[in-house]
Structure 1
């Protein structure tokens, strides 16, 4: 009787197993186990070099910081914020050198002393200007570098009181109006302005059009301050980061509400080269419209000379790899 009951239970269990498809599940698990056993070594082969690359980049970044240790120590002995600026500039300098092989051509055109207005093309993220400020902090320690992006609306003053915007205070970021920009230049500082601002960041594309419209405020600032204007452009900036602002929905949101809602994608390690053009000297006989036209032509000339249009991400990546091999 016991044997009969056991056989009956086995039959019932097998019937349930067949009905539920448990036998097929076991087969699937066996196949997955086999695939895992086969591909685990292959996965390790690809993961370990990736981890080593990360460690190498972190090591190089540490060496960049260590290289600046004497400058940092001297800065902290003088002023707290000077030390903070030196530290952050060193980190950004290292990031630009490692990730984008960042270079500046024409730094000698920036005056060692005295004011100047730097007018630059605005990428989807103006990370090139961050790198430029980092280099400027090390080479032009006698002056502060201001950054001002003229847009059609003013940031609320309370925004600059938030903890995040402590960076604005440390790096002397101002948000206008024109009188404040003129005051900064007359005090002997450098001032950076992107006439395209948010519109150029969102709606410019791989053909690098200058979306300045009829903006002449930056030219009037230069005239009122009687300072030279230095054009600036960074090669492959749009291949590093791109915006989806040209999609109809995001353009409608910006045009309707003046809200920069378009997402940005990228972060590709393409080669960045910043080019500074010849300074445009102050001329009392030139009005704001004429000066704005001159500056726009100068920036456009830098784009035509140094940027292959339309920009291509793959080509920019290959150029970065080629520059690495050439350096070695």
Structure 2
């Protein structure tokens, strides 16, 4: 204990030698009123924008929300509609979010949606909200197990039907007539993908087994510029791969939140074919998803050009 105390005393003396603590405290007390003076107006600005978003959500989706209130839905229907309306409004305002190919999604009946996983799957949140508001269909989603360690996620997963998922449980969801979304790349693709938009599925065929077991079509799904909205740091990749393989916890830092253009492309359904093995079906889906990416995504991705995509004029497809 004396040894530890000696080190602490030495550390304190070192800090005191370079920093005048009394002067720092005096300076902090002097500047506090000035800092508060500049921060308080920002609070009012934030309240103004919260008011704007609330009114925008009501204007955009008032019919859906009022219909949910008038009818007698189950307990969570109104809550889901309100949250979906907020996410949809955020997507429209912040990313100019659009969906192309919504007609490829069935009005009723089951289908397996297979999507490319961005650093943060915010595009999937927008898409789920859009489908729920426009089609009144809830898309069940498979999420990684680590999410249930995040405070508050349990309630969100219960209300919006997110689960870790096994082949059997996913097949059951589809057999009951629901839509189900899976990213074969999962957290690994989210953490270690980059602006070249390569699929990192690591020979996973579980989703194909699900589709074969449930005898349902597969719909490929990709969002343009999803890697430009959020990215991971580029250095020490080898270290983060080792940590992830050992712990299955995403630890690679993410940066961004750039208001780039997001446009989701829903591909044509790959109909069930009983002659295909899971490996063959996986390869077929991967090829179609890569076609969507190559057709609609600028490769390598560019944050600046993705920001310019927000400008409403015709641009050549890359």
TM tier, shorter chain?
A: 0.7 to 0.9
Which of 68, 73, 88 in structure 1 is aligned with 2:66? 73
Which one is further off, 310-319 or 236-245?
Answer: 236-245
Contact 1:202 1:246 in 2 (8 A): no
Cα gap change, 1:66/1:200 in structure 2, threshold over 3 Å: closer, same or farther? Answer: same
TM superposition shift of 1:262: 1.0
Q: Counterpart of 2:106 in 1: which secondary structure?
A: coil
Q: Counterpart of 1:80 in 2: which secondary structure?
A: coil
CA distance in 1, matches of 2:229, 2:195: 11
Residue number in structure 1 paired with 2:22: none
TM superposition shift of 1:161: 11
Cα gap change, 1:61/1:306 in structure 2, threshold over 3 Å: closer, same or farther? Answer: farther
CA distance in 1, matches of 2:93, 2:50: 7
Contact 1:160 1:168 in 2 (8 A): no
Residue number in structure 2 paired with 1:27: none
1:92 partnered with 2:87: yes
1:174 partnered with 2:163: yes
Q: Counterpart of 2:309 in 1: which secondary structure?
A: helix
Mark the runs of 5 or more structure 2 residues left unpaired by the alignment. Answer: 1-37
The 5-angstrom pairing of residues 1-40 of structure 1 reads none
Kindly name which structure, 1 or 2, has the bigger radius of gyration based on alpha carbons.
1
**What TM-score, normalized to structure 2?**
0.79
Which of 221, 226, 231 in structure 2 is aligned with 1:232? 221
Mark the runs of 5 or more structure 1 residues left unpaired by the alignment. Answer: 1-43
TM superposition shift of 1:121: 0.1
TM superposition shift of 1:63: 1.9
Residue number in structure 2 paired with 1:293: 283
CA distance in 1, matches of 2:217, 2:52: 41
Which of 247, 258, 261 in structure 2 is aligned with 1:257? 247
Measured against aligned partners, the alpha-carbon deviations of 1:253-298 in whole angstroms (never above 9, x if no partner) come to 1133222111111000000000011100001111111110000001
Contact 1:228 1:280 in 2 (8 A): yes
Cα gap change, 1:246/1:130 in structure 2, threshold over 3 Å: closer, same or farther? Answer: farther
Contact 2:128 2:138 in 1 (8 A): no
TM superposition shift of 1:111: 0.4
Measured against aligned partners, the alpha-carbon deviations of 1:68-97 in whole angstroms (never above 9, x if no partner) come to 223212213423300001000000000000
How many corresponding residue pairs?
272
Alignment root-mean-square deviation, CA: 2.7
1:131 partnered with 2:120: no
Which one is further off, 52-61 or 122-131?
Answer: 52-61
CA distance in 2, matches of 1:161, 1:275: 30
Measured against aligned partners, the alpha-carbon deviations of 1:198-253 in whole angstroms (never above 9, x if no partner) come to 10000000101100011000001001101000000000000000123762332221
Cα gap change, 1:169/1:161 in structure 2, threshold over 3 Å: closer, same or farther? Answer: farther
TM superposition shift of 1:138: 1.0
Which of 302, 309, 312 in structure 1 is aligned with 2:302? 312
